[in-house]
Amino acid sequence: MGSIVIPHLNSGWHVDQAILSEEERIVLIRFGRDWDPDCMRQDEVLYRISDRVKNFASIYVCDIDRVPDFNQMYELYDPCTIMFFFRNKHMMVDFGTGNNNKLNWVLEDKQELIDIIETVYRGAKKGRGLVVSPKGKQTRTLFSCLSISVAANISTDYSTRHRY
């Protein structure tokens, strides 16, 4: 239901116009494939929060198969990617993952997504190009999983390199 109601950007020109025309609000674009289950889940969350963020964010979706213009430039290789723009500038967000360009996992916690959008908006209004994401339950879980995975790889690598 979410991706049906959220405005679609059907060409590169439409994406550019959405980014260029908004002067006072954040432009949030979910890049992905409309048929992808991750995108459908994310679109549902975006639809559910759209009324709560309408004063400071415009939400759009863009199918990367129909509009491949930005795939290489923004490295849109993940199933579902959210990017933020303000006054024709890409807003970067530090999620603690090392990739500040985009949110490239499904964020199903509505309040956490609203908090992120508000943080991006406040930072953008202050002239910042990079903001630090408020870390909530879901992102902490993701960071914990990433840390455990990295730690396991490091210890495995260490133990195999120093065998006699």
Any domain includes 163 = no
**What global pTM score does this model have?**
0.81
Q: Evaluate whether residue 98 is within a structural domain.
A: yes
Query: Tell me, what CATH number does 58's domain have?
Result: 3.40.30.10
- Whole-number Å distance between alpha carbons of 60 and 147: 32
Report if residue 44 sits inside a domain: yes
Neighbours of 160 (CB within 10 A): 8
In a domain, 138, yes or no: no
Integer Cα distance of 134 and 65 in angstroms? 32
Q: Which domain holds residue 17?
A: 2-133
Domain count, the chain: 1
pLDDT digits (tens, 9 = 90+) for 71-116: 999 999 999 999 999 999 999 999 988 889 999 999 999 999 999 9
Token pair for 76 = 């849109």
Cα 148 to the center of its chain, rounded Å: 23
The answer to whether the beta carbons of residues 93 and 28 sit under 8 Å apart is no
Residue 23 in domain: yes
> 49 lies in a domain?
yes
